[in-house]
Amino acid sequence: GAGVSQTPSNKVTEKGKYVELRCDPISGHTALYWYRQSLGQGPEFLIYFQGTGAADDSGLPNDRFFAVRPEGSVSTLKIQRTERGDSAVYLCASSLSGANNEQFFGPGTRLTVL
């Protein structure tokens, strides 16, 4: 079956611009996570959704970052006024539920802010 997909695979933008990154989880997975991974580092937790609601957004670095999951499936991570320090690979993962089940990762979106 289809795994987690993310679009775009690569995004190059200029400092100050707005970007949206999309995640399509595995069908039937109620839990969805966003992570940010910089070169040589582990995935850094950003936000976790259970269904439509953000159950834990404590990893979002500041108010320029926002994520939604309006119908409990597809999720969009939105970054306003991008900064060079936002450059990283943004990973999405989904799991059957939030009860510590295996997370399946997408291929990631490589964001480059010039």
Partner 1 sequence: GENVEQHPSTLSVQEGDSAVIKCTYSDSASNYFPWYKQELGKRPQLIIDIRSNVGEKKDQRIAVTLNKTAKHFSLHITETQPEDSAVYFCAASTGTGGFKTIFGAGTRLFVKA
Q: Point out which residues bind partner 1 (CB under 8 A).
A: 31, 33, 35, 40-45, 48, 50, 55-56, 58-59, 91, 98-100, 102-108
In 3D space, the residue among 41, 107, 40, 49 whose CA is nearest the CA of residue 75 turns out to be: 49
Q: Which CB sits closer to partner 1, 82 or 90?
A: 90
Give the C-alpha separation, 18 to 52, whole Å.
Answer: 23
Q: Which CB sits closer to partner 1, 47 or 82?
A: 47
Q: How far is the CB of 15 from partner 1 (least distance, A)?
A: 26
Which runs of E-coded beta strand occur in the chain? 5-7, 10-13, 19-24, 31-37, 44-50, 53-56, 65-68, 75-79, 88-95, 104-105, 109-113
Q: How far is the CB of 35 from partner 1 (least distance, A)?
A: 8
Q: Which CB sits closer to partner 1, 80 or 97?
A: 97
Q: Which CB sits closer to partner 1, 19 or 90?
A: 90
